[in-house]
Structure formats: structure tokens, C-alpha cells
Amino acid sequence: MKVSTLNRIWSRLILTVLHRSGIKDICIAPGSRSSPLTLEAQRLHLLDNEVNLHTHFDERGLGFLALGLAKTSVRPVIVIVTSGTAVANLMPAVAESRLTREKLFLLTADRPIELLQSGANQAITQRQLFGEHADVFCDLPSPTESISPAWLLSRIDESLFQQAKTGGCVHINCPFPEPLYGEMEKTEPYLSSVASWLEGDDPFLSFTHTKADLAPFMAHWGDLQNKKGLLLVGKVSQEERQALDTLALRLGWPMLCCPQAGGASSYAGFDLWLQNAASCERLEQAECVLQFGGRLVSKRLSLFLENFSGDFFLIDPHPGRLDPQNHQGMRLLVKPEELAKAALEGLFHPKEKHWAIELEKASQAVFSLVSARFKEDARFSEVAMAVDFSHWIAPKTDLFVGNSLAIRVLDMFCRLPDRAVFANRGASGIDGLIATACGVQRGRKHPMICLLGDSSALYDLNSLSLLRQNTLPFVLLILNNDGGGIFDLLPIPKENKDDFYRLPHGLDFSHAAAMFGLRYLAPTSLSEAKAACLDAQERPLTTLIELTIPAGLAGFQIRTLLEEIAHADLL
């Protein structure tokens, strides 16, 4: 059998077994060495129009596009790239998936082994390139008739099973020798051992899964529900947070929601009121903490947890370390709504209902203070935007929040409405944010607001090409404070701040929007920006809204407010 036919048939077997597992999204970057995989992906799409092909010329952006798609699905997303540095460009997205457990299934083309370390073109060492960032790695041999197709099918299915248990990334390295192109020959003799399987639609291998056991937690629950308890909500889905709303209401415990929880509670603004000693003292009476999901944004909440020594339970279905404070306690690998349901069924008459109800008053006092301040202050700022931002999001719109200053001002100053919220809070990098938001929208098919800073937007300009032909409302809301505004909140030496940290650029995004054919707006007031954002959520295209804000203003406003709140009478 010709080499070109073997390359194609191995690619077909790999993609067929992945398709039968339920995978529907395939992300492809251009390349010659990956042609066997690309052509078989196209064939699969023609056979099943529910298989979606996504393309991007930038492998780094492609990896983050796949990451965004994976955030919206329980199924893995396939990524196909050619050999060489194309593979290395996937590293940032792979690193993020390692920490946040989105399922990426990488099929990377490679040169055959005889061309490695020989001066051959576009050949680098791809074996274990992602190191521990990939949960599963398999370096396939070059396609050969001496290896049974059953081995290849079982190897892929075993990788899928491992990924189903742990999430994260699978990396299958595929060395294809030349020729890469040619007419397909007859393949029946080689495929005879799996012929009956090919005629059906079942996976090659089936596995059983162990059901999560809540018994260890429920053994403590009778005592715990009578203590002064606290619910912390990190990265969870909107539906999971709604289930936790019910649990918090029945328990009468305070619930503190990170922006990634997709909605606020009546205790919002805790990153501000925890600056106040009386409010801290009240929260420190907590005897029990149930934390649902990881990746908490608030610095002051992290400080509270560092000093907490009561009963601690961390609930998240994905394995791995999610407690940087290293509490003694119980780690429950279950979905938050499963524990919430069991806790509600086992709930009697908690004795410490509303033990911290005064902190609702602290929340109200903080928001009253902030609202009054920014009604009087006409300056356009990140803080003023965040205070009003809950009114900028239409009822059916999803939100993607960038890192650094963008997510911090929402955490401090915004009572987020009940919306689906997404972010890359694993490695918390500023790369690939536009591409990730685009992937989320393609997966959910809802209007989207992507809020991020200017440095993040500059870092991912190539991904604006993914938004050119968008047929859904996508609002790219860029906070342009001329550099890294997050450094204004850190004790950076003033004489070094601009040259080595903030890096002022003096750029605006009007030409970038024009280059990629995007609608562009640059409002000059808060009311104009709000109206533009709401209007853009009704238009079936991408609108880039740039908010130009004086450098350093957010840092000054936040420091001033924290000082005032620290000495305020909130309770």
C-alpha cells in the first residue's frame, strides 16, 4: 500500500473513533504535513454536517479558539496543526487547559523519526513537547501495515477514557512520511480485522465510570449545618450557581460569589468591605467554609482564607490542587449541584441562620458610597464603568472577562446580573482572550460581550480575523488606559513603572478595526458607552467599542476608595 494511502487511512481511523465518542468540533490551522488529517476532517464534515470545522492561520489563536469551544461542552475539541513551531504555539492554550481542565485533543503532524535532528526543514523535537501540561501523550509510529488498525483504535479510545476522568489535554503526535498526497488505493485487506466495526457506529472500546460518593460529606452534614457557615463560589456554571443560591437561602449562610460564578449575591462587593476591620471581624466568626469551584479572584478573600482554621470543604469535579492555602479538610470530586441537592435533602433546622446578615448591610453601604462618588465624578474611568456595568448586559448575552484589571474592577465594583460568565483564570494570562471568547460564542451561539484591557487586545490582534464574518452580536469592549493599568495597583518603583511595567503605547484600535472590517465606536461618556454597548448587542456582527481612559486613574480611585472604606461605619 502506498505511503500516502496509509497516512490517510490512519488519519481516518483516528478521526472516526473520535467522532464516535461524540466530538463535534475540529479546529484546523493550514499546513502541508498535516494534510492527511485535514483532508479526513473535511471528509468527516461532508459525511456529518453536525461536525463543525473551524480554521485560523495563527496556531496560538487556534488553540485558544478550541479552549473557548471546550468551555461550553462536555466533549473534547480536536485541534489539528502541522509540524514544527506550529505545535509549540499551542503551549499557552495547553497550559491553561491543564489548570482549568477543558478538554483539548491535539493531533499534531510531525516529520518521521529519520528526519529529526538531521537538518530537515520544519522539524523540531515534538515528543513530550508540552511536558506535564498535557495529561496524556502518545507518540505514534509512522503509519505502517505491520501494525494492526485495532491497536490504533484502542490507543485513541484509551486516551479518551483517561481524558473523560481528568479533563485536560491529550496530545497525539502523528509522524507522516512523504508522499502526503495521492489517490487512495484499496484498503480492504488492511482493514479486514476492523471491517465489522467500521460498518457500525459504536466506539471501539467501552469503559465504565465510578459514581461520585457523597457519603463522607453527608456523615458530617448533620453537625455542619448547625455551625456558622460560609459558601464561597468560584468558577462554576450559571446553572450550578443557581442551585447554590437555593442552598444558601435555606441555610441562611452568606454566599460570596466570584465573577466567574455568573451572578452576584446580596453580599457583593466583598473585596471592598473586607478592607473594613469590623466587617472582617464579623466574617471571621465563620466556623465552616464550603468552597464550590476554584480560581477565586479577590485578594482580600484569599487573605481571609489564609487565616481560616475551621471546617473546610472544597467541591469541584476535576482532580488537582485548587486550594493555595492548603487547608486541612475534605476535597469532594463532585459537581456542585450534586452536593447542593444532597445537602438540601439532608437539611433540617440550621441553628445559625443569618449569623452574618449584617454583612448585607456592609455590601449595601459600600455600593451606596461608590455610586454616590461616581455620580459626582464625571470622569470616564474603569471604576465608573464597572459600577454601572450590570446595566450594560442584555438579558440573553454571555460575558467573557479578561484578566488583570478588567476582572478585578468587576469583582470589586459590579453586582453582576444572572448571566453566563467565562474567563481564563487558570494561568490568568493576557494571551488568546479574544480567540477564547470567540470559541465560547461559537459553542453557545449567544450574543457576547468580551471585556478586556488594551494590552490584552494588542496581544491577540490576529484573532480579530475570527470575528470578521460573525453573524451573532459580539461586542469587544476594550478599556484603553495606554498600557498595563494593573501595575498601578502594585508597589512598583515609580521611576521604573512606565519603562518596564506599564509600557505606554500611544495606540488606539480604530485602524485595527478597519483592517479586519469590524464596526468601530469610540464613545466619550459613560451614558454614550452604555447606549452603544446595548445597541451593539442587537446587531448580528462584531462591534469594537474602545473606551479611552486616563492612565493611572483607576489605581488612584481604587486606593482612595479602599482607604475610605477601611475607616467607614459599614455595619
Dump the DSSP string for 270-306: HHHHTTSHHHHHHHTT--EEEEESS----HHHHHHHH
pTM of the prediction? Answer: 0.95
The CATH number of 215-356 is 3.40.50.1220
Cell reading at 367:
455600593
User: How far, CA to CA in Å, does 130 sit from each of 88, 165, 172, 190?
Assistant: 8, 20, 11, 33
**How are beta strands 104-110 and 288-292 bridged, if at all?**
unpaired
Phi, then psi, of 421 in degrees rounded to 5: -120, 135
Residues 69, 81: Cα–Cα separation, whole Å: 17
Q: Where are the domains of the chain?
A: 3-199, 215-356, 377-566
Q: Which class is domain 377-566?
A: alpha beta
pLDDT of residue 491: 87
* pLDDT for 114: 83
What is the C-alpha to C-alpha distance for residues 400 and 448, in angstroms, rounded to an integer?
7
Chain-centroid distance, C-alpha 320: 16
Query: What is the enclosing helix (H) or strand (E) of 341?
Result: helix 336-345
pLDDT of residue 349: 87
pLDDT for the residue numbered 120: 82
Cβ neighbors of 322 (< 8 A, separation 6 or more) are 293, 294, 295, 314, 316
Spell out, as residue ranges, where the chain has pLDDT lower than 70.
Answer: 376-378
- Cα–Cα distance measured from residue 146 to residue 192, given in angstroms and rounded to the nearest whole number: 14
pLDDT of residue 377: 63
Q: Residue 518's closest CA among 447, 468, 462?
A: 468
Pick the CATH number of 3-199 from 1.20.140.10, 3.40.50.970, 1.10.10.60, 3.50.50.60: 3.40.50.970
Q: What is the pLDDT of residue 15?
A: 98
Contact 466, 438 (CB under 8 A): yes
Q: Are 357 and 283 in contact (CB under 8 A)?
A: no
